[in-house]
Amino acid sequence: MKITFLIHTVYGVGGTIRTTLNLAAALSDRHDVTIVSMLRNRAQPKFRVDPRITVTPLVDIRRDSPDLEDPLSREPSRVFPDTDNQYKKYSRLTDRRAEEYLRACDADIVIGTRPGINVYLARFGPRRALRIAQEHLTHDIHPKKLNTVLARHYRDLDAVVTTTEADAAVYRSKMRMPGVRILAVPNSVPAPPGPPSDGSAKVVAAGGRLVRSKRFDLLIEAFGKVAAEYPDWTLRIYGAGNDHDRLRRLIEERGLTDRAALMGVVSPIEAEFAKASIVAVASDAESFGMTIVEAMRCGVPVVSTDCPLGPAEIIEDGVDGRLVPVRDPQALAAALIELIADDELRRRMGRAALAASRRFDPATVARAYETLFAELAATRWSRAWQRNRPRVRNRLRRFLRRVRPQRRRRTV
């Protein structure tokens, strides 16, 4: 079977890129897999690409690229939704290349990985192929105007796949899409190559983009309370972002310069998580929680805010990690101290986390997708009828509204 993924760019760094490469590699065991990168912004991908995967870039936006000389590259896209936050990177050239590629695509399955790209898929994707939209964010994070656009286009697809069951339930309740299968399949994370954490290092780690929504400021505040009781423990925060300078100042103001550090970007992150004994997540919201799974795959328990939507579907509170209220530094500090104070509890949770994390293995997730492919193929015609029945009913109603006045006039 031929499977094609459509991605914003495979050449950068990010959770969607990682999980797409993980899934594509797992599917390559039994299928012919291509990743189509809408944009190419560097010579080689940052992450390793399985050699069995074909990578096809559509528009090269590197500084000396001939594509930048094309007049269409200077005209804004007419297809990609302007409420998708990557809109400014798309042009009429991207529209044309996407349409040309998809019209000629001979894949059996085509999977889009972000909202604007899923609109391309709905507009231009081959009708003979099964067309699937992945949602790596959440319905309620999208602007309302974007959801209005998506509702119109997603009706023409075969499935919408979210990363959490909670988000799938939101899509089912807020987007009426007859004939479109809406379900949750988690992101995949491979087992790291090195040994898991033994739980002895006096290190709390955290990772992600240094942005306000990740609430590293709250984590630093909570760790101040931890450091007061356990001064031999340290906090390491991995990542980069606009909040870097503010967080550095906060560390200095809290007197934690020797206890907390901003470590920069490290990829892959698992080797660093394996050097820690606890990983902390303080986010206000998570569409899934890749950091949580990456830590668990290293045998490290995670203390996370119980934020919408992912953590509660990954962590079993008190068994393989802890869930605490959102925006509550006291509760976050207390949960960290609970694990720091009890070596056996921390190590037991770490072992449980490692065991539970195996459900996110790429091979397991790939089998879930293969099951979905088979189900969609078997129900193609019945779902087409479900999709078209409202349209047929509406056309019939409009026809009857036109015919009835004519009959009345003839009777009179």
Cα–Cα dist 251/224, whole Å: 9
Instruction: Give the type of residue at 359.
Output: R
Residue 360 has pLDDT above 60, yes or no: yes
**Residue 211, CB half-sphere, CA atoms under 13 Å: how many?**
6
Nearest to 206 by CA among 258, 151, 266, 163: 266
- ∠ at Cα 24 (23, 30), nearest 5°? 105
DSSP code of 236?
E
In this prediction the pTM is 0.90
DSSP track, 17-37: HHHHHHHHHHHTTTSEEEEEE
Question: Per-residue confidence at 404, pLDDT binned at 50, 70, 90?
Answer: low
Residue 11 has pLDDT above 70, yes or no: yes
Q: Is-contact 142 165, C-beta < 8 A? A: no
Cα–Cα dist 102/4, whole Å: 10
In percent, the amount of the chain with pLDDT more than 90 equals 90
Q: Which residues contact 349 (CB under 8 A, 6 or more apart)?
A: 301, 319, 320, 321, 339
- Structure tokens that stand for 155 in this block: 């009706």
Q: Is-contact 311 286, C-beta < 8 A? A: yes
Average pLDDT over residues 380-392: 82
DSSP code of 195?
P
Average pLDDT over residues 246-275: 96
Residue 239: per-residue pLDDT: 94
- Domains belonging to the chain, first-starting first, are 2-184 (3.40.50.2000), 203-360 (3.40.50.2000)
Question: Per-residue confidence at 228, pLDDT binned at 50, 70, 90?
Answer: very high
DSSP code of 357?
G
Q: What share of the chain is helix, strand, coil (3-state, %, to 5)?
A: 45, 15, 35
Q: Is-contact 262 206, C-beta < 8 A? A: no
- ∠ at Cα 140 (317, 178), nearest 5°? 105
| Integer Rg of the chain from CA | 24
Cα–Cα dist 63/69, whole Å: 10
Q: Is-contact 164 309, C-beta < 8 A? A: yes
Residue 409: per-residue pLDDT: 57
State the chain's maximal CA–CA distance in angstroms: 96
Average pLDDT over residues 402-406: 67
Q: Which residues contact 392 (CB under 8 A, 6 or more apart)?
A: none
Residue 26: CB atoms within 10 A of its CB come to: 23
